[in-house]
Amino acid sequence: MKIGIIGTGYVGLPTGVGLAELGNQVICIDKSEEKINSLKAGKLTIFEDGLEDIFFKNVQNKRLTFTTSMQEGVEDADVVIIAVGTPPHPETKEADMKYIHAAASELAKYLKGYTVVADKSTVPVGTGDEVEDIIRKQNPEADFDVVSLPEFLREGFAVHDFFAPDRIVVGVNKDRAVNVIKELYKPFEGKTEILFVNRKSAETIKYASNAFLAMKIHYINEMADFCEKAGADVFEVAKGMGLDERIGRRFLNPGPGYGGSCFPKDTNAMACMGKKYGAPLMLIETAIRGNDLRKAKMAERILSVVKDKKDAKIAVWGLAFKNGTDDVRESPAMQIVEQMLKNGANLKVYDPKAMENAKMLLGDSVEYADTELDAAKDVDVVAVLTEWPEFSEVNLVELKSIMKSPKIVDLRNMLKAKDPKQHGFEYQCIGLCS
């Protein structure tokens, strides 16, 4: 099939590469010339494990091309996928729909022949109707249907999740479009549950899923705080809870709070929708408030272990919102860093993949290190903020020998198994009474 994808970011690029690998002819469209030029020159614009090889393979066999021209990407396509950003509106926190509306309006005039316009961006309920109206107004003659194809990939596992999704959800109100989408997802038939629902249900499934996962994280974080006070061990508690199949083990890892480009914005957008429809979503609202407060509490926890906050030097291990990605959007680590900077802290930071993205936001307000050990040289405390596996492999004897004072605040519980206290560290992790 011929596919045009509008928006070549964390969702659009892996989706385009994956669809090309499945044998489709894919054109990735982005308005950012810098991104498209970089991709045309063979340089990936995001880090995702396993993406590079299939990217090169499909560029070479010419199944994957890149353009800034909407016309080039849309006019021959059987399916046009919209994968532009839906960031939170700075004031209302609703999903800001300007990119979706612009994309719908720009693509409309280039539609030729029957085309399915599929929305992959995470969008408020009713957006399918809006997109349909925008296209019809711009191009009353166009022969098209709009479907919702919510995306569930996890950053850091985008390639894995593209080829082995837990489920594929399709929101569609027209049989003609069902046939096109069935053709698109033929390679997944018999391997993955493909759920056809009405368009508004599909739009809701995406938000309801993300809000549920965010609440699960917030729940175990609150349990961790409780365990610290009550003398229980949150790891034992999480294990005991997770053995119940109705609860499940995943997403019961306590930490500094949920973050990233999806959970914070999607919980906020869902809460706004609840208000709009007169169906308040109080569990979600509580999780949002608690999660926001948590980041400030975590910064305080780190600062509380240094005596003189102004002169103390703190090593920060990890800036990405989670391991396996270079994405720092709404990263708890970045928010904790910013909070500590406000309190006058001197920071030396390191992340295996996210340094470039972090530099764009932090500028010269922090020092940058080349490795985790380089960051730890002569510091008063190491703060572990992202769960990069390599942090758990660090040699504690070497670490202790290069630090000014042997203190670790481990907000991801990465070093717990090594028992830093046995090695002479003052050590704090999450969810254990000290």
Ligand X SMILES: NC(=O)c1ccc[n+]([C@@H]2O[C@H](COP(=O)([O-])OP(=O)(O)OC[C@H]3O[C@@H](n4cnc5c(N)ncnc54)[C@H](O)[C@@H]3O)[C@@H](O)[C@H]2O)c1
Residues known to be catalytic: 262
Can you tell me which of 5, 11, 17, 299 binds ligand X, judged by CB under 6 A?
Answer: 11
Identify the residue among 48, 75, 96, 151 touching ligand X (CB under 6 A).
151
CA distances from 284 to 194, 208, 249, 292 (A): 28, 10, 21, 12
338's tokens: 């910013």
Distance (Å, rounded) from C-alpha 290 to C-alpha 140? 48
Under the binding rule (CB under 6 A), the answer on residue 121 touching ligand X is yes
- Asked if residue 408 binds ligand X (CB under 6 A), the reply is no
CB-nearer residue toward ligand X: 326 or 372: 326
Q: Would you call 233 exposed, middle or buried from its count of C-beta atoms within 10 A (0-12, 13-18, 19+)?
A: middle
The distance of closest approach from Cβ of residue 20 to ligand X in the complex, given in angstroms and rounded to an integer, is 17
Q: Is 406 among the residues that bind ligand X (CB under 6 A)?
A: no
109 binds ligand X (CB under 6 A): no
**Structural tokens at position 298:** 């975590």
Window 240 to 269, contacts with ligand X (CB under 6 A): 261-262
CB of 102 to ligand X, least distance (A): 5
> Interface residues for ligand X in 166-205 (CB under 6 A)?
none
Residue whose CB is less far from ligand X, 151 or 387: 151
Q: How far is the CB of 236 from ligand X (least distance, A)?
A: 31
Binding mask 32-51 for ligand X (x = CB under 6 A): x--x----------------
Candidates 251, 346, 331; CA nearest to 298 is: 331
Which positions from 311 through 340 interact with ligand X, judged by CB under 6 A? none
Q: How many Å apart are CA 384 and CA 418, to the nearest integer?
A: 14
Which one of the spans 29-37, 141-149, 278-286, 292-300 is the region binding ligand X (CB under 6 A)? Answer: 29-37
Both structure tokens of 258: 């949920």
Query: Which string of DSSP letters, residue by residue, matches 5-33?
Result: EE--STTHHHHHHHHHHTT-EEEEE-S-H
CA-atom Rg of the chain in angstroms: 23
Q: Is 362 in the site for ligand X (CB under 6 A)?
A: no
As measured in angstroms, the least distance from the Cβ of 208 to ligand X is 14
What are 83's two structure tokens? 């994968």
Counting contacts by CB under 6 A, is residue 5 touching ligand X?
Answer: no
85 is a site residue for ligand X (CB under 6 A): yes
Torsion of the alpha carbons at 266, 267, 270 and 271, rounded to the nearest 10: -150
Q: How many whole angstroms separate alpha carbon 316 and alpha carbon 154?
A: 24
**Site of interaction with ligand X (CB under 6 A):** 6-12, 29-32, 35, 83-86, 99, 102-103, 106, 121-122, 151, 153, 155, 261-262
